[in-house]
Amino acid sequence: MARFGRLLRTGLLGRFVLVLAAVGLIPLIIIPWLVDLTRNSVTDQILITHSVTARTTAARVDAWIRSLRISAQTLASNPYLLQARRDQVAEMIAGLIQADPAIKGALVVNAAGLEVGSATRAGFADVAGPALAAATSAPVSVVPGERLWIRIATQLDEGRGELRILVDGEALSELLMTEEIGRDAIIGLFDTDTRLIASSNVSGDAARFPKALLQAGKGRATSGAARYDEGDPVIAGAHSRVQTAPWFVASIQPATTAERVAERMRRTGLLSVLAAVALTGLFSTLGYVAIIRPIDEIARSQWKVARRRHKGTPSSGNEISQLREAFATIHRQTLDREAIGKLFLSRYLVLDILGTGGMGSVFRGWDPKLERPVAIKTVHMGGKSRASVDIEEQRNVLMREAVTVAKFNHPNIVAIYDVEDAGEAAFLAMEFVDGMSLENYLARVGTVRVEMAVPLVMQISRGLEAAHNAGVIHCDIKPANILLGRDGGFKVTDFGIARSAIRATGNISGTFGTPGYLPPEALDSAAFTPMADLFGVGAVFYELLTGEPPHAGRTAQETLVKTATAPAPSVREKNKSVPPAIDEIILGLLEKNPQARRPASARDLANALEAIADRNGWKWVAPPLLAEESAMSESERETAAIPGSGKLG
């Protein structure tokens, strides 16, 4: 206890408790101020919300009236309206009625007020006739009756008459509905005599709106918001003028909402203060037991060692100073250590992590038995993982990749050396490719010259030829799955979603792969044949020469739609250096119908490109960028180039 008291007075514990106590007391000091501030802020926010709501609602009503008036003015501006026969006028009016379901009837009168022609929607003649025949000077008015009807009058050219339309006013109630304010709020539409025209609430009536608010709206002020203390409860309200009609919108809500928020905050604040006080004591105790006391003991033990080595040197103050000296000693000891721990996966030595994904990680490793570098692709199998429901499928994908690639061997395919399905992790040991993915390379250089692109695509096709001959369809040919070696080689990788072709039918069904590189037939759930991989080759070929995929969209959905519907643009439109023969090959690969212009096989494509490359003397040479990337130690260079997306399987 004596040591505890000393620590509390002068040492780390005292400072620790002081900081925790200050943190716990700050809420106690500022909570009353925060409650008042919050109540006022909530009230102001309610007023702002209702002000915005009133203006927005008035704007919606304005837009609705304006659209109707524009429709009426379009017909009223017809110079032949008064010259046409009565049946022709009725036909013109019928067109206006059919264009807008809200319009139930229309009438044209001449300057003397005599009817020129009229038309009504079926079933509304009894209502529309009297309502339209009555004369009124208001361009927009409410027709008295049990149901809400709006009459809009529009002058004909040069005042030679008038077009009147009758509109169903039920749409006004829908315009007043909004989810921006609380359930206890009401929005009302009033005329200049403060008569309620429509309401957002079936129980809404003019008596529930403060008189001062209605008078402010009647005054035709543009807009405004205020608290109204005319009764209990206090009302927060706002109003806004409707520009196209002699109406205004009023929005109200009981201000007790702010009081409820403040009361909840007071209760929450009190509980927070009590919790802070309790946590201060708890953390002080735990901090002393778990942190400060062990640190004090370490500092004392380190100081005892130093005192034995340096006799006569006095202690340099409290445990904080001793701790500083202890850490300095530990640091010196750490720098003197030479041993470094090493991690093994089965027989493979793990040297470094290269990338991670949703399924697991890719590591740089070493096979001590065969003395060669490897890339180790893993799937974590922890049973308590949040993604544990997908663990079995992830493991199956990894195992399927191993089995798939084991069916064939080709210099343009990343080889699988080993596979293991352990209890906690499944992994593949794969061939290293000393270089980078084509995706990363294009991100650096933008485009590739045609004399480099042709031999590159030719070798990719050779790798796919070997896969297709083994009955394997890659299903996801894209730049991220093509690796460029510093030795000038190419490798196709990531057969995680590859499928074996059903030899009896020559195809499989299902949609796999990446938007932009998927063929149109796969999007229609049609046959997914080896020609689907050739479409992906065409998309990669196109991107090599232009810097972008042929059907690039702003979203994945837009990309898929373009792939299915839009023809691929000519490569020469974006790169004039591309020969017409290469342009034709690429457009053939990207043809929507796989049977139309796509090559019959990857072998045919490779042979065609090889002939062009040989004829022109085009050969792939590892570009300077790959050589620049190799400016590191030999051991550091022995790393695998993995797909830039980090996608596993």
Lookup result for tokens 């457009």 = 587
Longest dimension (CA), the chain: 124
Name the amino acid, one letter, at 426. Answer: A
Cβ(270)–Cβ(34) below 8 Å:
no
Please enumerate in sequence order all residues whose Cβ is within 8 A of that of 607, keeping only pairs 6 or more positions apart, or say none.
none
Q: What is the DSSP string of 448-487?
A: --HHHHHHHHHHHHHHHHHHHHTTEE-S--SGGGEEEETT
Residue 119 tokens read as 């038309």
Same domain, 476 and 578: yes
272-275 contacts at long range (C-beta below 8 A, 24 or more positions apart): 272/27, 272/31, 273/24, 273/27, 273/28, 273/31
Cβ(509)–Cβ(527) below 8 Å:
yes
Please enumerate in sequence order all residues whose Cβ is within 8 A of that of 48, keeping only pairs 6 or more positions apart, or say none.
225
Q: What angle do CA 84, 88, 90 make, to 5 degrees?
A: 120
Residue ranges making up the domain that contains 395:
343-430
Residue 106 tokens read as 């229309």
Residue 414 tokens read as 């990343």
Residue 380 within a domain? yes
Task: Calculate mean pLDDT across residues 146-163.
Answer: 87
Closest CA to 457 of 497, 493, 490: 490
Domain boundary, last residue among 404, 430, 456: 430
Residue 471 within a domain? yes
Task: Compute the distance between CA of residue 214 and CA of residue 209 in angstroms, rounded to an integer.
Answer: 7
Same domain, 395 and 456: no
Residue 559 has pLDDT above 50, yes or no: yes
Residue 222 within a domain? no
Task: Calculate mean pLDDT across residues 315-340.
Answer: 46
Residue 55 tokens read as 């203006």
Q: Indicate the average pLDDT of the chain.
A: 77
- Using DSSP's 3-state secondary structure scheme, residue 149 falls into strand
Closest CA to 405 of 500, 478, 527: 500
Count of other CB atoms within 10 angstroms of residue 544: 25
Please enumerate in sequence order all residues whose Cβ is within 8 A of that of 219, keeping only pairs 6 or more positions apart, or say none.
none
Task: Compute the distance between CA of residue 150 and CA of residue 140 in angstroms, rounded to an integer.
Answer: 7
Task: Compute the distance between CA of residue 565 and CA of residue 567 in angstroms, rounded to an integer.
Answer: 7
Same domain, 489 and 610: yes
Task: Compute the distance between CA of residue 249 and CA of residue 171 in angstroms, rounded to an integer.
Answer: 15
Q: What is the DSSP string of 290-343?
A: IIIHHHHHHHHHHHHHHHHHSTTPPP-SSHHHHHHHHHHHHHHHHHT------E
Domain boundary, last residue among 410, 430, 450: 430
Same domain, 407 and 523: no
Residue 156 CA from chain centroid, whole number: 52
- Using DSSP's 3-state secondary structure scheme, residue 268 falls into helix
Burial of 290 (0-12, 13-18, 19+ CB in 10 A): exposed
* Active-site residue list: 476
State the CATH number of the domain containing residue 619. 1.10.510.10
Same domain, 391 and 461: no
pLDDT at 171 (0 to 100): 83
For 119-144, how does the pLDDT look when each residue is reduced to its tens digit (9 = 90+)? 999 888 888 888 888 877 789 999 88
For 361-420, how does the pLDDT look when each residue is reduced to its tens digit (9 = 90+)? 778 888 888 888 888 888 754 444 444 446 676 777 777 777 888 778 899 999 888 888
- Using DSSP's 3-state secondary structure scheme, residue 103 falls into strand
Cβ(187)–Cβ(174) below 8 Å:
no
Question: In terms of pLDDT, which residue wins out, 35 or 332?
Answer: 35
Please enumerate in sequence order all residues whose Cβ is within 8 A of that of 111, keeping only pairs 6 or more positions apart, or say none.
159, 160, 161
Same domain, 418 and 456: no
pLDDT at 595 (0 to 100): 82
Same domain, 352 and 472: no
Task: Compute the distance between CA of residue 191 and CA of residue 576 in angstroms, rounded to an integer.
Answer: 68
Question: Which residues are paired to 242 by β-bridges?
Answer: 247
Q: What angle do CA 109, 113, 114 make, to 5 degrees?
A: 65
- Using DSSP's 3-state secondary structure scheme, residue 145 falls into coil
- Asked if omega into 580 is within 30° of 0 (cis), the reply is no
Same domain, 586 and 471: yes
pLDDT at 537 (0 to 100): 95
Domain boundary, last residue among 403, 430, 457: 430
Same domain, 389 and 442: no
Reported in sequence order, the residue ranges of 317-470 that DSSP labels E, i.e. its strands, are 343-345, 348-356, 361-367, 372-380, 416-421, 425-430, 435-437
Task: Calculate mean pLDDT across residues 618-645.
Answer: 56
Predicted model pTM: 0.46
The size of the chain, in residues, is 649
State the CATH number of the domain containing residue 423. 3.30.200.20
Backbone phi and psi for residue 225, each to the nearest 5 degrees, phi listed first: -150, 145
Cβ(483)–Cβ(507) below 8 Å:
no
Q: Please report, in angstroms and rounded to a whole number, the separation of the first and last CA atoms in the chain.
A: 61
Residue 591 tokens read as 């043809």
Residue 479 within a domain? yes
Same domain, 471 and 571: yes
Residue 387 within a domain? yes
Sheet holding 435-437, edge to edge: 435-437, 482-485, 490-492
Task: Calculate mean pLDDT across residues 547-571.
Answer: 90
Task: Calculate mean pLDDT across residues 601-607.
Answer: 93
Residue 234 within a domain? no
Task: Calculate mean pLDDT across residues 285-301.
Answer: 67
Cβ(365)–Cβ(635) below 8 Å:
no
Question: Which residues are paired to 187 by β-bridges?
Answer: 251
Residue 622 within a domain? yes
3-state helix, strand, coil in the chain (%, to 5): 45, 20, 35
Task: Calculate mean pLDDT across residues 61-74.
Answer: 91
Pairing between β-strand 223-228 and β-strand 149-155 as defined by DSSP bridges: unpaired
The confidence band for 41, taking pLDDT boundaries of 50, 70 and 90, is: confident
Count how many domains the chain has.
2
Same domain, 486 and 629: yes
Residue 17 has pLDDT above 90, yes or no: no
For 444-490, how does the pLDDT look when each residue is reduced to its tens digit (9 = 90+)? 999 999 999 999 999 999 999 999 998 888 888 999 999 998 888 88
Cβ(649)–Cβ(390) below 8 Å:
no
Scored b (16 or more CB within 10 A) or e, 172-190 reads bbebbeeeebeeebbbbbb
Residue 195 tokens read as 């008569």
Question: Which residues are paired to 609 by β-bridges?
Answer: none
Residue 565 within a domain? yes
Pairing between β-strand 527-528 and β-strand 508-509 as defined by DSSP bridges: antiparallel
Least confident of 68-72, 84-88, 204-208, 267-271: 267-271
Same domain, 585 and 464: yes
User: Rg of the chain over CA atoms, in angstroms?
Assistant: 40
Q: How far is CA 95 from CA 105, 106, 139, 160, 439, in A?
A: 11, 10, 22, 22, 58
